[in-house]
């Protein structure tokens, strides 16, 4: 997985670049192609995780946004490390849409 250095969200490949929802883009170089095995085409047997700005169906919690100080954020858990380690908790501010993560 490639994470955005600006907002911390997962970046996905599209048109020869890793793109983030915040607008940050990173060219996919030969070095990155060797590091990842990916394709922009999705086969019917593949699982697809869709992320976007519409996260209004996610649960919310009372937590302070480090960017704007708002006291409410959407949250979700995602396994980003080995299976024997705990999940990473992600938050997205309900006001400014800033995304950050928290580890246990």
Binding site, residues?
4, 7, 20, 22, 65, 68, 93, 96
| 34 in catalytic set | no
Q: One of 27, 41, 43, 84 is an active-site residue; which one?
A: 84
Q: One of 40, 85, 87, 102 is an active-site residue; which one?
A: 85
Instruction: Give 82's Cβ-side CA count (13 Å radius).
Output: 2
Instruction: Give 60's Cβ-side CA count (13 Å radius).
Output: 14
Binding residues for Zn(2+): 4, 7, 20, 22, 65, 68, 93, 96
d(CA 100, CA 104): 14
| 85 in catalytic set | yes
d(CA 53, CA 48): 16
> ∠ CA(50), CA(92), CA(25), 5° rounding?
60
Residues identified as active-site: 84-85
């Amino acid at each position: 997985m490639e994470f955005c250095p600006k907002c911390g969200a997962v970046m996905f490949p599209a048109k020869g670049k890793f793109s983030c929802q915040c607008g940050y883009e990173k060219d996919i170089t030969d070095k990155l192609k060797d590091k990842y095995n990916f394709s922009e085409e999705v086969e019917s047997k593949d699982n697809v995780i869709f992320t976007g700005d519409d996260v209004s169906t996610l649960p919310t919690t009372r937590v302070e946004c480090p960017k704007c100080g708002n006291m409410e954020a959407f949250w979700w858990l995602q396994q980003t490390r080995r299976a024997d380690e705990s999940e990473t908790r992600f938050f997205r501010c309900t006001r400014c849409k800033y995304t950050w993560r928290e580890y246990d």
